[in-house]
């Protein structure tokens, strides 16, 4: 009896911890009703109340969805880091409403889910729902769609296509549960939905867009700030945070960056050759965290400013009292210049004064690109 009781406890404990470990976490959500953590978005129009055909709510959660009517429109969600997660997926609900009983989405009308792993610079279309002969379905009620359209992310920009088999009200092939699974653990993951319909009586509606994943590690470090946030390759970036160790490694866009450990709260990270604009990721015990915003890499390739017609004084120091002074000159003329042909004269008054001192530069050649003190 006692033994069975102990085993029961053990099994309950195992089940509890297993469900915790494999539990899916909402990484970011947009339900158009304020749920958090928020995945902000742009595009589309508010969808609320009931549609006409079917005459059921144009939302799943609370009181709002988002709609596209008679247009080609993108609804683009904010870049989200999924670095701390594995088994990442995006899901969203979709419905096709009509303003007249005979309308609905046709073969040329579509809703597409695209994925970016570089914050929206490039996109891959993954999942596409087409209409068919005025197909329509709601989120709830007797004309609700029940179809599931799931694809595994492959990044090849060729979407897997789902279409209802016919027109009018659809149920089993009214594709309303959309998901893209197998999304990468990435600091710049972004989702976009592209829509097209071409009649004022055709309405695509979405609700409850959410990125979920399994928390793969719990970081022991944190990042509070970094500076500078822009510069060329090999720029030293000072990162402030907590929990840094001599074993902390860094990457920018998956390219390893050299780390100079200063203290548990300060690191210097060198932007590597070949880096492009991205967050700086710090990895501690296999657990990666990224800076809250991108480091912008300044391109130093190509020709820069035109050549100057003469040398320039770039800095000057004259001690207040005594004879100490420094003059810094820079040559960007494209040719070697003999400094002995230059003098600096000092007058005792700006207008009508006497020339009290003349400084002649020594006979030194200053090369193109050289700065001399």
Positions touching Ca ion (CB under 5 A) are 31-33, 59, 61-62, 64, 103, 106, 109, 134, 154, 156, 158, 198, 207
- Identify which of residues 59 and 162 has a Cβ nearer to Ca ion in the complex: 59
The CA distance from 368 to 330, in Å, is 8
In 265-320, DSSP assigns E strands to: 266-270, 280-284, 287-290, 296-297, 312-318
Q: How far is the CB of 143 from Ca ion (least distance, A)?
A: 16
Q: How far is the CB of 197 from Ca ion (least distance, A)?
A: 5
Q: Which residues pair with 211 in a beta bridge?
A: 28, 90
- Identify which of residues 168 and 243 has a Cβ nearer to Ca ion in the complex: 168
Dmax over CA atoms of the chain, in Å, equals: 114
- Identify which of residues 153 and 244 has a Cβ nearer to Ca ion in the complex: 153
Q: Which residue in 41, 51, 34 sits closest to 80, CA to CA?
A: 41
- Identify which of residues 58 and 190 has a Cβ nearer to Ca ion in the complex: 58
- Identify which of residues 136 and 221 has a Cβ nearer to Ca ion in the complex: 136
Q: How far is the CB of 79 from Ca ion (least distance, A)?
A: 21
Q: How far is the CB of 43 from Ca ion (least distance, A)?
A: 16
- Identify which of residues 46 and 298 has a Cβ nearer to Ca ion in the complex: 46
Q: How far is the CB of 128 from Ca ion (least distance, A)?
A: 10
Q: Which residue in 250, 279, 264 sits closest to 221, CA to CA?
A: 264
* Cβ–Cβ under 8 Å, residues 334 and 307: yes
Task: Locate 291 and state its tokens.
Answer: 């800076």
Task: Locate 148 and state its tokens.
Answer: 């599931």
Mention every residue, 6+ apart, whose C-beta is less than 8 A from residue 5: none
- Identify which of residues 53 and 85 has a Cβ nearer to Ca ion in the complex: 53
Q: How far is the CB of 103 from Ca ion (least distance, A)?
A: 5
Q: First-to-last CA distance in the chain? A: 91
**DSSP string over 194-207:** EEE--STTEEEEEE
* Cβ–Cβ under 8 Å, residues 54 and 172: no
The phi, psi pair for 262, rounded to 5°, reads -100, -50
Nearest residue to Ca ion, by Cβ distance, number only:
61
Q: Which residue in 167, 166, 193 sits closest to 68, CA to CA?
A: 193
- Identify which of residues 59 and 137 has a Cβ nearer to Ca ion in the complex: 59
Q: How far is the CB of 151 from Ca ion (least distance, A)?
A: 7
Q: Which residue in 92, 276, 284 sits closest to 188, CA to CA?
A: 276
> What SS3 class is residue 267?
strand
- Identify which of residues 177 and 361 has a Cβ nearer to Ca ion in the complex: 177
Q: How far is the CB of 66 from Ca ion (least distance, A)?
A: 8
Q: Which residue in 80, 71, 99 sits closest to 194, CA to CA?
A: 71
Q: How far is the CB of 146 from Ca ion (least distance, A)?
A: 19
Mention every residue, 6+ apart, whose C-beta is less than 8 A from residue 42: 75, 76
Task: Locate 74 and state its tokens.
Answer: 């993108």
Task: Locate 7 and state its tokens.
Answer: 């085993």
């Amino acid at each position: 009896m006692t033994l069975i009781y102990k085993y029961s406890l053990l099994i309950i404990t195992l089940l509890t911890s297993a469900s915790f470990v494999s539990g899916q976490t909402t990484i970011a959500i947009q339900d158009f009703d304020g749920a958090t953590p928020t995945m902000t978005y742009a595009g589309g129009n508010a969808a609320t109340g009931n549609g006409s055909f079917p005459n059921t709510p144009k939302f799943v959660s609370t009181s709002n969805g988002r709609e596209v009517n008679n247009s080609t429109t993108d609804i683009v969600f904010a870049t989200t880091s999924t670095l701390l997660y594995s088994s990442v997926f995006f899901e969203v609900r979709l419905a096709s409403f009509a303003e007249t009983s005979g309308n609905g989405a046709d073969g040329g009308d579509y809703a597409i889910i695209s994925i970016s792993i570089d914050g929206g610079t490039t996109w891959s279309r993954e999942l596409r729902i087409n209409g068919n002969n005025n197909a329509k379905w709601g989120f709830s009620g007797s004309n609700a769609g029940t179809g599931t359209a799931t694809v595994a992310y492959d990044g090849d920009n060729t979407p897997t296509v789902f279409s209802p088999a016919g027109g009018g009200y659809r149920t089993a092939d009214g594709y309303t549960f959309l998901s893209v699974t197998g999304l990468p653990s990435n600091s710049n993951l972004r989702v976009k939905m592209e829509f097209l319909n071409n009649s004022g009586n055709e309405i695509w509606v979405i609700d409850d867009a959410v990125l979920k994943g399994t928390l793969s590690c719990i970081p022991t470090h944190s990042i509070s700030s970094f500076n500078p946030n822009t510069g060329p390759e090999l720029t030293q970036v000072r990162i402030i945070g907590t929990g840094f160790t001599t074993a902390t490694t860094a990457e920018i866009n998956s390219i390893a960056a050299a780390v100079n450990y200063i203290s548990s709260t300060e690191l210097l990270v060198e932007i590597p050759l070949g880096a492009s604009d991205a967050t700086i990721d710090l990895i501690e015990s296999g657990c990666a965290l990224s800076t809250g915003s991108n480091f912008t890499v300044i391109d130093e390739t190509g020709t820069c400013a035109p050549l100057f017609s003469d040398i320039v004084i770039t800095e000057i120091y004259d001690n207040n009292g005594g004879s100490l002074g420094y003059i810094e000159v820079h040559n960007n003329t494209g040719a070697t210049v003999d400094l002995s042909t230059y003098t600096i004269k000092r007058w005792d008054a700006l207008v009508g004064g006497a020339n009290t001192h003349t400084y002649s530069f020594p006979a030194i050649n200053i090369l193109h690109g050289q700065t001399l003190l």
